[in-house]
Structure 1
Amino acid sequence: MVIEPFESALDSVPGSHPYPRTSRYHDAEIAVHVREDGTEVRYAKRRLVPKPEGETSAHVVSAGERPDHLGQRYFGDPGQWWRIADANPVLDPRELTEEPGREIDVPDGLGHV
C-alpha cells in the first residue's frame, strides 16, 4: 500500500479518523453508543478478518522473533504485523512466533489485505 505524503499528514489531524491509514481498523465503521446519562462513546464496530487476497510466502519462525519484527521485515513497518496475523489461523498474534521452526504465511506485496 503506497501512502502519499499528504495522506499520512491527514492521519495527524484530530478527528479525521480515530485510526491511522495503516491500521487494521482504519476501514472499520465507527459507531456511537449513548449511555443513560447522555454521554456518547465512540467505538469501532466488529472487524471480520478478510480472506487473504493474492499470494503468500512461507516464513520459518526463528527463536526470538516477534510479530512486530516480521511486520518490519516484510512491510517496513512493525505495526503491520496484523497483516501476517490475518493470513494465519491464530487467535493471539503471539502464537505466530512462539514456536521456533513453525512455518507461517506472509502476504506478498504491500497491498492492503
Structure 2
Amino acid sequence: MTSRYADSGTYEVTLPDGTVVTVLRVPAPTSAPVVGWHRRSSDERLDLVAHRFLHDATAGWRLCDANGVIAPDALAARDLIAIPGGERP
C-alpha cells in the first residue's frame, strides 16, 4: 500500500506577506464501507486501533476517512469510531 499523498500533487499559495509556498493537495476521502464500530478507551492510540483492525499501524488515515475527519487528533475526541472494511482503492 502506498501513501495516500503519492499522487495528490502540489500547488503554490501566496501568503499575506507575499511569501509563496508550495502545498500538498489533500486527497478526497476513500469510500470504503464501514464494517463496524470500536469504542476507544481514553488512552488508546490511533496507531494501535489501526493495527488491531486494519493490520497496519500506519493506516490511521483510513480511520480518519471513515470518520469524516482530516486530522487524527479529531478522532482522539471521539469515544466511538467507525472501522472501514476492504482495501484502499
| Segments of 4+ moved more than 3 angstroms | 41-44
Identity of aligned residues (%): 32
Distance, in Å, in 2 between the alignment partners of 1:30 and 1:74 is 31
Question: Deviation digits for residues 64-113 of structure 1, max 9, x if unmatched?
Answer: 111111111122221100000111133431221345xx21111013x105
Structure 1 residues 86-95 or 74-83, which shifts more? 86-95
Which of 29, 32, 57 is the matching residue for 2:9? 29
Structure 1 partner of 2:88: 112
| Aligned-pair CA distance for 1:42 | 6.8
1:1-20 matches, cutoff 5 A: none
Answer 1 or 2: which has greater strand percent: 2
Amino acid across the alignment from 1:66:
R
| Aligned-pair CA distance for 1:22 | 2.9
Amino acid across the alignment from 1:28:
S
Question: Deviation digits for residues 11-48 of structure 1, max 9, x if unmatched?
Answer: xxxxxxxxxx432212312568xxxxxxxx8753x124
Say whether 1:76 aligns with 2:55.
yes
Unaligned 5+ runs, structure 2: 13-20
CA RMSD of aligned residues (A): 2.7
Distance, in Å, in 1 between the alignment partners of 2:30 and 2:50 is 19
Look at both structures and tell me which one has the larger radius of gyration over its CA atoms: 1
Unaligned 5+ runs, structure 1: 1-20, 33-40
Q: Calculate the TM-score normalised by the size of structure 2.
A: 0.67
